[in-house]
Amino acid sequence: MGIGFAIGLVLGLTVHALGGSVEGLQGGAKWVMDYVTPPASGLFLNLIFMLIVPLIFSALIMGVSEMGDIRALGRIGWTPLAYTVLLPGIAVGIGLVLVNVLKPGGVLGVVEHRAKADVADDDDTGYVGQQQ
């Protein structure tokens, strides 16, 4: 694993040093970044999420079913079962409350609108909000 990481690191730094920044992309590379990467990454993430949830659910079911008679285990058997059922439920509840209270990403429309207003018509710098 260390060799692959090192090769990827060196290759990435080399490509970046040779002008591989996102702003400098031209032609085919820009087309790939605009039209191929977003659908491919979305598909990959959806497939991962589609795999993770059933995998965790089946692992929980198998763990509980292989315990055998939980009454024979007593306190040692009920404690892990309680943690397995209660803690994810509490985490989901906290997550739902925080998302509904904080509304992350809700101000992005305001930021984009302000950024468009800050750019001068004759500004060729490429930087948002920087006027000369």
Q: Residues 112-130: pLDDT tens digits?
A: 555 565 555 445 555 555 5
**In the prediction, which pLDDT does 128 show?**
58
Residue 61 domain-assigned? yes
Spacing of C-alpha 120 from chain mean position: 34
The letter for the amino acid at 56 is I
Residue 131 pLDDT exceeds 70: no
Residue 14 domain-assigned? no
Residue 3 domain-assigned? no
**In the prediction, which pLDDT does 6 show?**
92
Q: Residues 82-122: pLDDT tens digits?
A: 887 788 889 888 988 998 999 887 776 665 555 565 555 44
**In the prediction, which pLDDT does 69 show?**
72
- Residue 93 CA to residue 89 CA, distance in Å, equals 6
Could you give the maximum distance between any two Cα atoms of the chain, in Å? 78
Residue 13 domain-assigned? no
Q: Three-state DSSP class for 13? A: helix
Residue 59 domain-assigned? yes
Mean pLDDT calculated for residue range 45-73: 80
How wide is the angle at C-alpha 55 spanned by C-alphas 50 and 53, nearest 5°?
45
HSE value, Cβ hemisphere, 13 Å, CA-based, for 64: 12
pTM higher than the cut 0.85: no
- Residue 103 CA to residue 44 CA, distance in Å, equals 26
Domain count, the chain: 1
Domain that holds residue 74: 25-118
Residue 87 domain-assigned? yes
Residue 124 domain-assigned? no
Mean pLDDT calculated for residue range 43-56: 87
Torsional sign, CA 25, 26, 32, 38: positive
